[in-house]
């Protein structure tokens, strides 16, 4: 497993046009062409090929792939992320000048079981740098195929890049690998294409909730890093390791963050350097990580264990409802309540995934302002349109973002869910973190709190020194 990815890391593929230092370049009489490529990096454990396999075997718990049984879980058992949908809907208007590349999420391989090391550490043959190498290789291959078919040479390339979660970190790492300046050990876009760096324009970078959680290529596989808070220290700040600070490299950079994500090992990395360079816009939207970036299944029953203190907040904010028709979050009962000690209760509710299409449509509209084109929400793509009961909220959120996206802001904008739409939390917004009571879920999905309130760690991409 992983041999394909290891081969990608061995070195860059042959360039489209080669230049030998110290020698005059050969004359190329082919007609020059200006091309555009869009690269889409999916999130951790998101893989649309594997999702398609599950959808073709909807009742199966195990599928046979290449003669081997693969359990339907992980990347097989989710729905399409917004990045995957955007690549599906990417509108190639001219197949002689435009190409589109989808890169499966970190920790996943098409038609294989998920890679546990890649999922845990974001490194290795299915990690962030390897997926960026794959994106560069795939882009180069598709561009070279067009040039061979049309008998033209590449004069200039416009690049749009999108990503979600660790895929967002990959998109930003991809920006740094336009040249060999920062990562000489890896293939870079300029070298693989065989064109000078100035021929490549990084146009639009659109990311959903950057979470790098990268342990480095030499830090994987040790037991101590899987225990307690050590893993959170490892995942603390990957800005320098992956060169996540884009500054003014792209013409435009947009990040849509998740306002309700609080897991300890899910710190969001800002795009402050791009904001300060006058090219960046960042806005947090209601919802957890995969509410904003997508990939929850269409409908799921969510069960959460909460303590008595948290229960009151969740009811007040609308995450659960207790009324004459149903009680989603009952009062605790038993000895510990009578003793006056905080105890736990279990909340149960049904949550749907359609809210994710609001951040999807916002990102698409912002990208379109910088030349990207997408197919309409009709026919094959009608399922990804915002449903009627969320259209009012969608309109408010679009107006909020679009009225601010080209304004110089020193801090990320933050859209607050109106009280009139509190019901959206109950029906459409998931909860991703769990209380830290010492079990494995608490280690991997435990929430971060400050003064007994959920508080996400935010990492600035500004230089630390």
For the chain, the domains span 31-297+354-416, 299-351+422-447
Single out the residue of 407, 370, 433, 363 nearest to residue 168, CA to CA: 363
- State yes or no: pLDDT of 75 exceeds 80: yes
**pLDDT for residue 220:** 46
Q: What is the pTM of this model?
A: 0.89
List pLDDT tens digits, range 221-234.
544 445 444 444 55
Single out the residue of 268, 267, 196 nearest to residue 232, CA to CA: 267
Tell me if 229 sits within 8 A of 313, measured CB to CB: no
353-359-365-368 Cα dihedral, nearest 10 degrees: -90
Question: At CA 361, angle to CA 358 and CA 366, rounded to 5?
Answer: 125
Q: What is the mean pLDDT of residues 132-143?
A: 98
380 CA to centre of own chain: 23
Distance of alpha carbon 362 from alpha carbon 6, whole angstroms: 36
- State yes or no: pLDDT of 97 exceeds 80: yes
Q: Which residues face 39 on adjacent strands?
A: 101, 161
**pLDDT for residue 8:** 42
Single out the residue of 292, 67, 277 nearest to residue 164, CA to CA: 292
Topology of domain 31-297+354-416 in CATH is Rossmann fold (3.40.50)
Q: How confident is the model at residue 323 (pLDDT cuts 50, 70, 90)?
A: confident
**pLDDT for residue 22:** 57
List pLDDT tens digits, range 390-431.
999 999 999 999 999 988 888 999 999 999 999 999 999 999
**pLDDT for residue 219:** 52
Task: Look at strands 152-164 and 31-41 and give their pairing.
Answer: parallel
Distance of alpha carbon 51 from alpha carbon 105, whole angstroms: 12
Q: What is the mean pLDDT of residues 152-163?
A: 98
In a 3-state reduction of DSSP, which class is residue 5?
helix
Question: At CA 298, angle to CA 292 and CA 302, rounded to 5?
Answer: 80
Structure tokens at 239: 């800005």
Q: What is the mean pLDDT of residues 207-214?
A: 95
Sequence-separated (6 or more) residues with CB below 8 Å from residue 199: 154, 155, 156, 157, 190, 193
**pLDDT for residue 125:** 95
- Between residues 444 and 430, which one has the greater pLDDT? 430
């Amino acid at each position: 497993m992983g041999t394909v990815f290891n081969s990608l890391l061995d070195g860059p593929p042959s360039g489209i046009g080669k230049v030998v230092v110290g020698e005059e370049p050969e004359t190329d009489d082919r007609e020059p062409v200006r091309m555009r490529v869009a690269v889409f990096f999916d999130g951790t454990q998101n893989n649309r090929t594997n999702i398609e396999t599950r959808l073709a075997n909807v009742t199966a718990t195990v599928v046979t792939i290449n003669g081997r049984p693969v359990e339907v879980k992980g990347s097989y058992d989710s729905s399409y992320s917004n990045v995957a949908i955007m690549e599906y809907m990417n509108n190639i208007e001219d197949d002689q000048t435009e190409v589109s590349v989808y890169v499966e999420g970190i920790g996943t391989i098409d038609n294989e079981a998920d890679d546990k090391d890649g999922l845990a550490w974001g490194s290795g043959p299915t990690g962030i740098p390897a997926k960026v190498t794959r994106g560069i290789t795939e882009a180069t291959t598709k561009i070279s195929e067009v040039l061979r078919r049309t008998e033209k040479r590449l004069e200039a390339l416009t690049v749009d890049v999108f990503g979600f979660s660790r895929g967002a970190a990959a998109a930003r790492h991809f920006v740094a690998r336009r040249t060999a300046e920062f990562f000489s050990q890896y293939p870079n876009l300029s070298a693989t294409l065989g064109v000078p760096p100035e021929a490549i324009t990084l146009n639009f970078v659109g990311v959903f909730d950057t979470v790098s959680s990268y342990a480095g290529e030499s830090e994987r596989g040790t037991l101590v890093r899987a225990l307690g808070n050590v893993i959170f220290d490892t995942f603390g700040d990957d800005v320098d390791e992956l060169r996540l600070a884009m500054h003014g490299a792209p013409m435009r950079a947009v990040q849509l963050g998740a306002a309700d994500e609080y897991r300890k090992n899910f710190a969001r990395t800002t795009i402050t350097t791009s904001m300060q360079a006058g090219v960046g816009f960042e806005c947090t939207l209601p919802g957890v990580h995969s509410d904003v970036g997508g990939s929850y299944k269409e409908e799921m029953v969510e069960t959460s264990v909460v303590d008595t203190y948290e229960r009151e907040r969740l009811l007040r904010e609308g995450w659960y409802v207790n009324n004459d028709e149903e009680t989603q979050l009952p009062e605790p009962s038993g000895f510990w309540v009578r003793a006056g000690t905080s105890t736990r209760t279990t909340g149960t509710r049904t949550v749907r995934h359609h809210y994710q299409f609001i951040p999807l449509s916002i990102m698409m509209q912002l990208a379109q302002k910088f030349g990207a084109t997408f197919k309409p929400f009709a026919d094959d793509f009608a399922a990804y349109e915002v449903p009627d009961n969320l259209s009012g909220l969608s309109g408010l959120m679009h107006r909020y973002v679009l009225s601010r996206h080209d304004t110089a802001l020193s801090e990320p904008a933050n859209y607050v869910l109106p009280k009139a739409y509190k019901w959206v939390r109950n029906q459409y917004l998931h909860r991703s973190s769990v209380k830290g009571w010492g079990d494995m879920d608490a280690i991997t999905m435990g929430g971060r709190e400050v003064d007994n309130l959920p508080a996400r760690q935010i990492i600035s991409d500004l230089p630390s020194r």
